[in-house]
Every structure is written in C-alpha cells, then in structure tokens.
Amino acid sequence: MEDKTVFRLFTYIFLVSLFYHSITQWLGVYFSLVNHLEQFFISLLLTTVSVSGIIGSALGGVFSDRLGRTKVIRIGKGLMIVVAFSLLVKGSLFILFTLMFAWGLGWTFNHIGLSTFLTDLPLTQVFESASLNSSVRFLSAGLGSVLGEMVMQKSFNFGFILFGTCLLILFMMTKKLIVLIPSCIQK
C-alpha cells in the first residue's frame, strides 16, 4: 500500500513540475513577443515569481500545518490554473505583475504542501523520498522545458490552454494521486 502511495505521489510531483516548467521557461519569450515588453520589465516580472516564492515558502509551511497539506497543494494548483488561463488575455503591466506573483505563490504552495507531505511519510521512507523528490523535479523540469518549446513555439495560446487544462485535470485527480498513508499525520 505505502509503495503504491509513494509512487502516485511522485507521479503527481513529476507531472505538476512538468507542466509548471513547460510554461515558466517560456514566460520571458512570451512577454517579449506577445506583450512587447522591454528586457527591464521582463526581468522584473520573472523576479516577481521568485520574490513571491520566498513569501510563499513561509506562508505555505504555516498553511500546510493549519489547513492541511492537500488543501495547500490544491490552493497552489488552483492559482497556477487561473494564471495559465489568464495569460490568454493581454493585460496591463500591473495585471502581469499580479499574475506572476500568483504564479510563484501557486508553485510554492504546491511545492511546500508536497514537501511537507513527504515529511509525514514513515521514517523508513523519508530520506529516500527527499532525495527522489529532487531528482524527479530536476528531470521533469528539463522535460518540461523541451515540451514547452515544442508547444509554445507554435502557439502561446495553445500552450497556455494545453498546460492549463493539464493542471486542471491534475487538480481534479489530486485526491487519487495524493492519498493518505495510514501512518501519516496528513490532514
């Protein structure tokens, strides 16, 4: 039972990272080609993702403990879905900054919820799972960049729809992929 649960958890980690990086690696190009922004503003927008990640790390940990890991994961993924579909509509610079803040916050909430969930695994699986977590994310980030290239070079709109829909499907499957391990404290 626990091995199947851990496999499903890492399948989820792989997929969410794949879809996140498929979009993230192409945001700078999107801002340049579609929004016609200067490099300065593109850099600020991408930095906003990182800054919100710092804030999201602190908030995500607190919310994970108070609301439960699965709820924080779903909140994070929900933010990512909203941003993916919102990028279909050209908005003001203020809207783009708000979206990038939400994008970074969503990714971080998702990441923190999953990482906290891993700490709830039985002690015999924690160390291997922590190591595997980094490996899976590294692999899926690279594959996400390649997948994003294949899709985004053809059409940003199609890419946002495709990856947003994939995140939405993953959102609906969260409870099937991330299930309670009997020995965990999961809320």
Structure tokens at 47: 């930095």
The answer to whether 19 touches 170, Cβ cutoff 8 Å, is yes
Note the pLDDT tens digit of each residue in 141-165: 999 999 999 999 999 999 999 999 9
Residue 181: count of CB within 10 angstroms of its CB: 19
The three-state DSSP-derived secondary structure of 27-81 is HHHHHHHCCCCCHHHHHHHHHHHHHHHHHHHHHHHHHHHHHCHHHHHHHHHHHHH
Note the pLDDT tens digit of each residue in 66-117: 998 889 999 999 999 999 999 999 889 999 999 999 999 999 999 898 888 7
Residue pointed to by tokens 């990272």: 17
Handedness of CA 91, 93, 95, 96 (dihedral sign): positive
pTM above 0.85, yes or no: yes
Structure tokens at 107: 């990714």
| Residue 173, pLDDT score | 86
Does pLDDT of 185 surpass 60?
A: no
The answer to whether 19 touches 144, Cβ cutoff 8 Å, is yes
